Amino acid sequence: MIHLGDITKIKGDNIPQVDVITFGSPCQDLSIAGKRAGLSGERSGLFMEQIRIIKEMRDADRRTGRTGVLVRPRFGIWENVVGALSSGRDPATGQKRPGADFQKVLEAFIQIEEPHLHVIRPEAGRWEYSGAVLGVRSCVAW
């Protein structure tokens, strides 16, 4: 494994292409043991940097002529704590909105290929421990 340095400075089009990219963002802001700052927290917010890098990698691969399912990375795997399923706040009011952060995670993944798609959060705000979101050209499972 190659250490690439500060994630905020990595450019996805400079990374060797791979079929699978795995990552975990710091969990302190999502953990039920933490202060629950969620994805807007300084540490767990690094998740969006990882999504940015995947997009840049896929765009770079397309520029080489790859298309469809051959564009890499083909799979992204995110590891985090179970608290990610229940953390979150309403961006407009700042009020607790359980499950809002996991909704953002699912949307971030699915919108890599399908930016117009949105994920509907369960009414109760609680995500099941397993599930899937299916798009036309992409899917996300947990």
Contact 17, 62 (CB under 8 A): no
Active-site residue among 12, 21, 25, 27? Answer: 27
Count of CB atoms situated within 10 Å of the CB of 71: 17
Q: Which of 1, 119, 22, 16 shows the shortest CA–CA distance to 75?
A: 22
CA distance 7 to 18: 17
139 counts as catalytic? no
φ and ψ at residue 89, rounded to 5 degrees: -140, 155
Which residues are the active-site residues?
27
